[in-house]
Amino acid sequence: MLLQRVVLGLWVAIALPAAAQQPGPETSLLPCEAFKKNLDGDWVAKRDVMVPGPTGPTQIKAGTPVDEILQDELEHRCK
């Protein structure tokens, strides 16, 4: 019984922090190189690109400014 608790404790101590450091799908699928800021300061797709969306992947056409949520995410991640 004690050995099981020790093993479980070690697993939690090792596995949970490692899992917490892994990027989620919304961040790992956001290609910063596919976007640029235009003269107005808005993020615009440089090429056709698929990005994660609330209902599944969404395609953004080249030259299209992205919505506010994606603007904020790009601003945070792709400086």
Q: How many CA atoms lie within 13 A of 66 on its CB side?
A: 30
Query: Which 3 state secondary structure label does DSSP give 49?
Result: strand
Buried b (16+ CB within 10 A) or exposed e, 1-25: eeeeeeeeeeeeeeeeeeeeeeeee
Per residue in 31-74, pLDDT (tens digit) is 999 999 999 999 999 999 999 888 999 999 999 999 999 999 99
In a domain, 36, yes or no: yes
In a domain, 59, yes or no: yes
Domain that holds residue 61: 23-77
Say if CB 73 and CB 54 are below 8 A apart. no
pLDDT value of position 13: 40
* Cβ-based neighbours of 46, under 8 Å, separated by 6 or more: 33, 34, 35, 36, 62
35: which 2 tokens? 């976007």
In a domain, 12, yes or no: no
Mean pLDDT over 1-28 rounds to 42
pTM of the predicted model over 0.85:
no
Domain count, the chain: 1
